[in-house]
Amino acid sequence: MSSARAVRAQARAEIAMTLRRGESLLLTLGIPVVLLGFFSLIGYPDRTVTGGIKTAAFLTPGIAALAVMSTAMVSLAIATGFERQYGVLKRLGTTPLGRPSLLTAKIAAVLVVEALQLVVIWLAGVALGWQPRGDVITVGVEVVVATAAFAGVGLLMAGTLRAEMTLATANGIYLLLLLTSGMVVPLSKLPGSVQGIARALPAANLADALHATLGTGGGVPARAWAVLLAWAVLAPLAAARTFRWE
Protein backbone atom coordinates (compact mmCIF):
# COMPACT_ATOMS: atom_id res chain seq x y z
CA MET A 1 0.00 0.00 0.00
CA SER A 2 1.44 3.30 -0.97
CA SER A 3 1.57 6.39 1.16
CA ALA A 4 -1.22 8.87 1.75
CA ARG A 5 1.00 11.34 -0.09
CA ALA A 6 0.80 9.21 -3.24
CA VAL A 7 -3.01 8.94 -3.01
CA ARG A 8 -3.36 12.70 -2.46
CA ALA A 9 -1.11 13.52 -5.40
CA GLN A 10 -2.97 11.06 -7.62
CA ALA A 11 -6.39 12.42 -6.58
CA ARG A 12 -5.23 15.99 -7.23
CA ALA A 13 -3.99 14.98 -10.68
CA GLU A 14 -7.27 13.18 -11.46
CA ILE A 15 -9.32 16.24 -10.42
CA ALA A 16 -7.14 18.61 -12.46
CA MET A 17 -7.41 16.40 -15.54
CA THR A 18 -11.20 16.08 -15.17
CA LEU A 19 -11.69 19.82 -14.84
CA ARG A 20 -9.42 20.45 -17.82
CA ARG A 21 -11.31 18.11 -20.16
CA GLY A 22 -13.77 20.25 -22.09
CA GLU A 23 -16.03 17.41 -23.20
CA SER A 24 -16.20 16.13 -19.64
CA LEU A 25 -17.22 19.56 -18.31
CA LEU A 26 -19.91 19.79 -20.97
CA LEU A 27 -21.37 16.51 -19.78
CA THR A 28 -21.00 17.04 -16.06
CA LEU A 29 -21.84 20.73 -15.73
CA GLY A 30 -22.86 22.23 -19.09
CA ILE A 31 -25.74 19.96 -20.00
CA PRO A 32 -27.22 19.67 -16.46
CA VAL A 33 -27.16 23.43 -15.86
CA VAL A 34 -28.53 24.25 -19.33
CA LEU A 35 -31.38 21.75 -18.89
CA LEU A 36 -32.17 23.15 -15.45
CA GLY A 37 -32.12 26.75 -16.68
CA PHE A 38 -33.92 26.13 -19.96
CA PHE A 39 -36.92 24.21 -18.63
CA SER A 40 -37.17 26.27 -15.43
CA LEU A 41 -37.32 29.50 -17.43
CA ILE A 42 -39.70 28.47 -20.21
CA GLY A 43 -41.60 25.93 -18.13
CA TYR A 44 -43.14 22.75 -19.52
CA PRO A 45 -45.95 23.20 -22.06
CA ASP A 46 -48.31 21.33 -19.78
CA ARG A 47 -48.16 22.28 -16.09
CA THR A 48 -49.41 18.87 -15.06
CA VAL A 49 -46.09 17.40 -16.25
CA THR A 50 -44.46 18.30 -12.97
CA GLY A 51 -47.52 17.40 -10.94
CA GLY A 52 -48.38 21.03 -10.41
CA ILE A 53 -45.20 21.91 -8.53
CA LYS A 54 -42.87 24.64 -9.67
CA THR A 55 -40.61 23.52 -12.53
CA ALA A 56 -37.37 24.39 -10.72
CA ALA A 57 -38.56 22.51 -7.64
CA PHE A 58 -39.11 19.38 -9.72
CA LEU A 59 -35.99 19.78 -11.86
CA THR A 60 -33.31 20.63 -9.28
CA PRO A 61 -33.27 17.19 -7.58
CA GLY A 62 -33.48 15.39 -10.96
CA ILE A 63 -30.62 17.44 -12.39
CA ALA A 64 -28.57 16.73 -9.26
CA ALA A 65 -29.08 13.02 -9.96
CA LEU A 66 -28.02 13.58 -13.58
CA ALA A 67 -24.87 15.36 -12.43
CA VAL A 68 -23.90 12.45 -10.18
CA MET A 69 -24.51 9.96 -12.97
CA SER A 70 -22.48 12.01 -15.46
CA THR A 71 -19.40 12.16 -13.26
CA ALA A 72 -19.47 8.78 -11.53
CA MET A 73 -20.41 6.76 -14.59
CA VAL A 74 -19.85 8.57 -17.89
CA SER A 75 -16.84 10.74 -17.17
CA LEU A 76 -15.08 8.08 -15.10
CA ALA A 77 -15.72 5.40 -17.73
CA ILE A 78 -14.43 7.48 -20.63
CA ALA A 79 -11.32 8.71 -18.80
CA THR A 80 -10.46 5.26 -17.48
CA GLY A 81 -11.11 3.62 -20.85
CA PHE A 82 -8.65 5.93 -22.58
CA GLU A 83 -6.10 5.56 -19.78
CA ARG A 84 -6.28 1.83 -20.33
CA GLN A 85 -5.92 2.23 -24.10
CA TYR A 86 -2.99 4.64 -23.80
CA GLY A 87 -1.17 2.21 -21.51
CA VAL A 88 -1.32 4.60 -18.55
CA LEU A 89 -2.90 1.97 -16.30
CA LYS A 90 -0.29 -0.57 -17.37
CA ARG A 91 2.50 1.92 -16.71
CA LEU A 92 1.19 2.64 -13.22
CA GLY A 93 1.37 -1.11 -12.57
CA THR A 94 5.14 -0.93 -12.06
CA THR A 95 5.01 2.06 -9.70
CA PRO A 96 4.48 1.72 -5.94
CA LEU A 97 1.09 3.46 -6.30
CA GLY A 98 -0.77 0.16 -6.54
CA ARG A 99 -4.28 -0.54 -7.74
CA PRO A 100 -6.16 -0.01 -4.45
CA SER A 101 -4.56 3.43 -4.11
CA LEU A 102 -5.32 4.32 -7.71
CA LEU A 103 -8.96 3.35 -7.20
CA THR A 104 -9.12 5.29 -3.92
CA ALA A 105 -7.74 8.36 -5.69
CA LYS A 106 -10.20 8.04 -8.55
CA ILE A 107 -13.18 7.75 -6.20
CA ALA A 108 -11.97 10.68 -4.13
CA ALA A 109 -11.66 12.73 -7.32
CA VAL A 110 -15.19 11.76 -8.40
CA LEU A 111 -16.61 12.79 -5.02
CA VAL A 112 -14.83 16.15 -5.12
CA VAL A 113 -16.12 16.89 -8.63
CA GLU A 114 -19.64 15.84 -7.57
CA ALA A 115 -19.49 18.20 -4.60
CA LEU A 116 -18.56 21.04 -6.99
CA GLN A 117 -21.42 20.11 -9.31
CA LEU A 118 -23.94 19.96 -6.48
CA VAL A 119 -22.90 23.40 -5.23
CA VAL A 120 -23.37 24.87 -8.71
CA ILE A 121 -26.73 23.13 -9.19
CA TRP A 122 -27.83 24.14 -5.70
CA LEU A 123 -27.08 27.79 -6.47
CA ALA A 124 -28.66 27.63 -9.92
CA GLY A 125 -31.77 25.92 -8.49
CA VAL A 126 -32.17 28.60 -5.84
CA ALA A 127 -31.71 31.33 -8.45
CA LEU A 128 -34.46 29.73 -10.55
CA GLY A 129 -36.96 29.45 -7.72
CA TRP A 130 -36.22 26.15 -5.93
CA GLN A 131 -36.80 26.37 -2.18
CA PRO A 132 -33.77 24.62 -0.66
CA ARG A 133 -34.66 21.77 1.59
CA GLY A 134 -33.35 18.41 2.62
CA ASP A 135 -30.46 17.62 4.93
CA VAL A 136 -26.92 17.44 3.68
CA ILE A 137 -26.18 14.12 5.39
CA THR A 138 -29.01 12.21 3.71
CA VAL A 139 -28.08 13.72 0.34
CA GLY A 140 -24.46 12.81 1.00
CA VAL A 141 -25.31 9.17 1.72
CA GLU A 142 -27.53 8.95 -1.35
CA VAL A 143 -24.81 10.40 -3.54
CA VAL A 144 -22.08 8.14 -2.14
CA VAL A 145 -24.15 4.96 -2.58
CA ALA A 146 -25.19 5.98 -6.09
CA THR A 147 -21.58 6.87 -6.92
CA ALA A 148 -20.48 3.34 -6.03
CA ALA A 149 -23.21 1.93 -8.27
CA PHE A 150 -22.48 4.22 -11.22
CA ALA A 151 -18.70 3.92 -10.87
CA GLY A 152 -19.09 0.15 -10.91
CA VAL A 153 -21.02 0.31 -14.17
CA GLY A 154 -18.57 2.82 -15.64
CA LEU A 155 -15.51 0.75 -14.74
CA LEU A 156 -17.22 -2.39 -16.01
CA MET A 157 -17.37 -0.70 -19.44
CA ALA A 158 -13.91 0.88 -19.20
CA GLY A 159 -12.25 -2.39 -18.20
CA THR A 160 -13.75 -4.57 -20.91
CA LEU A 161 -14.57 -2.44 -23.98
CA ARG A 162 -12.29 -0.54 -26.32
CA ALA A 163 -12.02 3.12 -25.37
CA GLU A 164 -14.04 4.37 -28.36
CA MET A 165 -16.75 1.82 -27.58
CA THR A 166 -16.80 2.90 -23.95
CA LEU A 167 -17.13 6.52 -25.06
CA ALA A 168 -20.06 5.74 -27.34
CA THR A 169 -21.80 3.40 -24.91
CA ALA A 170 -21.43 5.68 -21.90
CA ASN A 171 -22.74 8.68 -23.82
CA GLY A 172 -25.62 6.63 -25.21
CA ILE A 173 -26.61 5.40 -21.76
CA TYR A 174 -26.34 8.96 -20.43
CA LEU A 175 -28.85 10.25 -22.97
CA LEU A 176 -31.20 7.30 -22.54
CA LEU A 177 -31.22 7.49 -18.75
CA LEU A 178 -31.47 11.28 -18.80
CA LEU A 179 -34.83 10.91 -20.55
CA THR A 180 -36.17 7.80 -18.82
CA SER A 181 -35.15 8.11 -15.18
CA GLY A 182 -37.44 10.86 -13.91
CA MET A 183 -34.69 13.44 -14.12
CA VAL A 184 -36.32 15.88 -16.55
CA VAL A 185 -39.60 14.05 -17.25
CA PRO A 186 -41.44 12.46 -14.31
CA LEU A 187 -41.48 8.67 -14.44
CA SER A 188 -45.29 8.71 -14.16
CA LYS A 189 -45.47 10.32 -17.62
CA LEU A 190 -43.64 7.41 -19.25
CA PRO A 191 -45.17 4.12 -20.50
CA GLY A 192 -45.54 1.44 -17.84
CA SER A 193 -42.92 -0.86 -19.33
CA VAL A 194 -40.33 1.93 -19.37
CA GLN A 195 -41.17 2.74 -15.74
CA GLY A 196 -40.69 -0.90 -14.81
CA ILE A 197 -37.24 -1.06 -16.34
CA ALA A 198 -36.24 2.34 -14.94
CA ARG A 199 -37.15 1.30 -11.40
CA ALA A 200 -34.66 -1.55 -11.54
CA LEU A 201 -31.81 0.77 -12.54
CA PRO A 202 -29.73 3.04 -10.27
CA ALA A 203 -30.47 6.27 -12.19
CA ALA A 204 -34.23 6.42 -11.55
CA ASN A 205 -33.77 5.33 -7.94
CA LEU A 206 -31.23 8.07 -7.27
CA ALA A 207 -33.62 10.55 -8.89
CA ASP A 208 -36.46 9.23 -6.69
CA ALA A 209 -34.30 9.46 -3.59
CA LEU A 210 -33.17 13.00 -4.35
CA HIS A 211 -36.72 14.07 -5.26
CA ALA A 212 -37.84 12.84 -1.86
CA THR A 213 -34.97 14.46 0.04
CA LEU A 214 -34.56 17.74 -1.86
CA GLY A 215 -38.01 18.09 -3.38
CA THR A 216 -41.35 16.86 -2.09
CA GLY A 217 -40.04 16.07 1.39
CA GLY A 218 -41.54 12.60 1.59
CA GLY A 219 -39.42 9.71 2.88
CA VAL A 220 -37.06 7.99 0.49
CA PRO A 221 -38.84 4.87 -0.84
CA ALA A 222 -37.37 1.66 0.59
CA ARG A 223 -37.24 0.32 -2.96
CA ALA A 224 -34.88 3.16 -3.97
CA TRP A 225 -32.44 2.30 -1.17
CA ALA A 226 -32.65 -1.42 -1.93
CA VAL A 227 -31.98 -1.04 -5.66
CA LEU A 228 -29.20 1.53 -5.16
CA LEU A 229 -27.47 -0.62 -2.55
CA ALA A 230 -27.73 -3.73 -4.69
CA TRP A 231 -26.12 -1.94 -7.66
CA ALA A 232 -23.54 -0.37 -5.35
CA VAL A 233 -22.37 -3.84 -4.34
CA LEU A 234 -22.86 -5.85 -7.52
CA ALA A 235 -21.59 -3.42 -10.16
CA PRO A 236 -18.17 -2.83 -8.54
CA LEU A 237 -17.82 -6.57 -7.97
CA ALA A 238 -18.54 -7.27 -11.62
CA ALA A 239 -16.07 -4.55 -12.63
CA ALA A 240 -13.37 -5.94 -10.34
CA ARG A 241 -13.83 -9.44 -11.74
CA THR A 242 -13.72 -8.45 -15.40
CA PHE A 243 -11.37 -5.45 -15.47
CA ARG A 244 -8.45 -5.87 -17.88
CA TRP A 245 -5.59 -3.48 -17.10
CA GLU A 246 -3.94 -3.75 -20.52
Partner 1 sequence: MTAPVVVDDLVVRYGALTAVDGVSLTALAGTVTAVLGPNGAGKTSTIETLEGYRRPTSGTVRVLGLDPIADHAAVCRSIGAMLQEGGVYPTMSPSDALRLFAAYYPDPLDPDELLERVGLLDAARTPWRRLSGGERQRLSLALALVGQPLVAFLDEPTAGVDPGGRIVIRDVIRRLREDGVAVVLTTHELDEAARLADRIVIIDHGRVVADGTPGELTGSGAGSDIRFGAPPGIDVDALSVRISARVTEVEPGEYRVDGAGTPERVAALTSWLAERGIALGDLRAGRQTLEDVFLRLTGDTGTSPVLTGPRQRRRHRAGSR
Q: Which residues form the interface with partner 1 (CB under 8 A)?
A: 1-3, 5-6, 8-10, 13, 17, 20-21, 82-83, 86-88, 90-98, 246
Closest to partner 1 by CB, 18 or 205: 18
Q: Least Å distance between CB 92 and partner 1?
A: 8
* Region label for 21, one of left (φ > 0), alpha (ψ between -120 and 50) or beta (otherwise): beta
Closest to partner 1 by CB, 84 or 211: 84
Q: Least Å distance between CB 80 and partner 1?
A: 12
Q: Least Å distance between CB 135 and partner 1?
A: 36
Q: Least Å distance between CB 27 and partner 1?
A: 16
Closest to partner 1 by CB, 1 or 53: 1
How far is residue 148's CA from residue 128's CA, in Å, rounded to a whole number? 30
Closest to partner 1 by CB, 38 or 245: 245
How far is residue 75's CA from residue 131's CA, in Å, rounded to a whole number? 29
Whether residue 32 contacts residue 119, with contact meaning beta carbons closer than 8 Å, is answered with no
Closest to partner 1 by CB, 4 or 119: 4
How far is residue 158's CA from residue 246's CA, in Å, rounded to a whole number? 11
Q: Least Å distance between CB 86 and partner 1?
A: 6
**CB burial string 96-131: b at 16+ within 10 A, e below:** ebeeebbbbbbbbbbbbbbebbbebbbebbeebebe
